[in-house]
């Protein structure tokens, strides 16, 4: 009896999980399908699911009309650059907060997180003016700086929760065993924190890759990453859904593949500390 109801419950949960998963994934699937349609098929009513003339024309057109590779490289440089810069700042910060906390450490952490609750548009004008005065508009450097600042709170928090899980006694044992601070970091802490640093890096790359507010507002042509490349296919071009879809597919494909192969790391990183 009990076993039957457990099996039943499992079946229901499985069906629900698949349904939610499909609902979430459907827009992406639809974008990918649309990218292979002609513009006429793309706006056909009733919508055509699989029974349309498959074509690669949109990809061809998009390639011809814009410089995908430039935007792709911009995305890579901006997301990796901002992530590495954020890690360089956040590792020592999280280190001191986790292992030598002061009386105000918790407050500082909360304050850092609270900056994420401010709508980004609230600081758009001052940042835009600062960028203009310093000649940072439409530069990769400018975007790296602004995305580093945007993601720093999350990076510090993630690393902090990771480091908190490393028992202080192990570091003390290393100290007793004669390790200096640098050796303690190289031989004990870093190897133990590698999974945490890796998942933080992955998540931050994805966040930076997908970031659209700052990349759209602070770039024009030269430093525009893929998010701006997609946007360039939306309003000014009118109703070119198929081309827009092709551009979107090309923009999200790299990060989707990266996310797919690293999903185990990502889930572990995000739930670390919450689930033991």
Partner 1 sequence: MGQIELKGVAKRFGDAEVIPPLDLKIEDGEFVVFVGPSGCGKSTLLRLIAGLEDVSGGKIEIDGRDATAERPAQRGLAMVFQSYALYPHMSVRKNIAFPLKMAKVPQAEIDAKVNNAAEILNLASYIDRRPGQLSGGQRQRVAIGRAIVRNPQAFLFDEPLSNLDAALRVNMRLEITELHNTLKTTMIYVTHDQVEAMTMADKIVVLQAGKIEQVGSPLDLYNHPKNRFVAGFIGSPKMNFMTGAEAAKHDAHEIGFRPEHIAVGETGDWKGKVTVSEHLGSDTFLHVDTEFGIINVRANGNVDVHHGDTIWMTPDRSKVHRFDAAGNTL
Select 183 or 268, whichever has its Cβ closest to partner 1.
183
- Residue 102 binds to partner 1 (criterion: CB under 8 A): no
268 near partner 1, rule: CB under 8 A = no
Q: How far apart are the first and last CA of the chain?
A: 32
- Are the beta carbons of 71 and 226 closer than 8 angstroms? yes
Q: Which stretch binds partner 1 (CB under 8 A): 10-18, 45-53, 172-180, 251-259?
A: 172-180
88, 172, 253, 271: which one binds partner 1 (CB under 8 A): 172
Does position 92 interact with partner 1 (CB under 8 A)? The reply is: no
Residue 174 in the binding site for partner 1 (CB under 8 A)? yes
- Determine whether 18 is exposed, middle or buried from the number of CB atoms within 10 Å of its CB (0-12, 13-18, 19+): exposed
Q: Provide, rounded to whole angstroms, the least separation between the CB of residue 59 and partner 1.
A: 46
| Residue among 75, 54, 86 at smallest CA distance from 251 | 75
> How many amino acids of this chain bind partner 1 (CB under 8 A)?
16
User: Can residue 97 be called a binding residue for partner 1 (CB under 8 A)?
Assistant: no
Torsion of CA 181, 185, 186, 187, to 10 degrees: 90
- Interface with partner 1 includes 191 (CB under 8 A)? yes
Residue 258 bridge partners (DSSP): none
Q: Which stretch binds partner 1 (CB under 8 A): 23-31, 63-71, 106-114, 178-186?
A: 178-186
Q: How far is the CB of 88 from partner 1 (least distance, A)?
A: 23
- Please tell me whether residue 175 binds partner 1 under the rule CB under 8 A: yes
Q: Provide long-range contacts, Cβ within 8 A and 24+ apart, for 174-179.
A: none
Residues contacting 76, CB < 8 A, separation 6+: none
Is 177 or 237 the residue whose CB approaches partner 1 more closely? 177
Phi-psi region of 211 (alpha: psi -120 to 50; beta: other; left: phi over 0): beta
Is 176 a binding residue for partner 1 by CB under 8 A? The answer is yes
Question: Please, what is the minimum distance in Å from the beta carbon of residue 144 to partner 1?
Answer: 32
């Amino acid at each position: 009896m009990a076993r039957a109801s457990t099996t039943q419950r499992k079946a229901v949960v499985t069906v629900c999980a698949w349904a939610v998963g499909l609902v979430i994934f459907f827009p992406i699937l639809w974008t990918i399908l649309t990218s292979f349609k002609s513009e006429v098929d793309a706006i056909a009513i009733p919508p055509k699911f699989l029974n349309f003339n498959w074509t690669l024309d949109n990809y061809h057109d998009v390639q011809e009309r814009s410089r995908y590779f430039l935007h792709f490289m911009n995305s890579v440089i901006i997301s990796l650059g901002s992530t590495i810069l954020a890690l360089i700042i956040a590792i020592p910060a999280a280190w001191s907060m986790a292992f030598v906390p002061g009386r105000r450490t918790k407050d500082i952490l909360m304050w850092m997180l609270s900056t994420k609750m401010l709508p980004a548009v609230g600081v758009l004008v001052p940042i835009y003016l600062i960028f203009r005065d310093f000649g940072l508009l439409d530069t990769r450097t400018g975007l790296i700086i602004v995305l580093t600042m945007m993601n720093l709170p999350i990076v510090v928090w993630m690393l902090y929760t990771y480091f908190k899980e490393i028992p202080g006694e192990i570091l003390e044992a290393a100290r007793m065993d004669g390790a200096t601070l640098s050796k303690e970091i190289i031989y004990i802490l870093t190897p133990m924190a590698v999974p945490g640093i890796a998942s933080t890096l992955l998540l931050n790359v994805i966040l930076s890759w997908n970031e659209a507010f700052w990349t759209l507002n602070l770039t024009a042509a030269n430093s525009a990453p893929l998010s701006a490349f997609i946007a360039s296919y939306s309003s000014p071009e009118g109703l070119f859904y198929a081309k827009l879809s092709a551009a979107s597919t090309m923009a999200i494909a790299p990060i989707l593949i990266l996310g797919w192969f690293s999903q185990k790391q990502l889930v572990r990183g995000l739930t670390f500390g919450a689930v033991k």
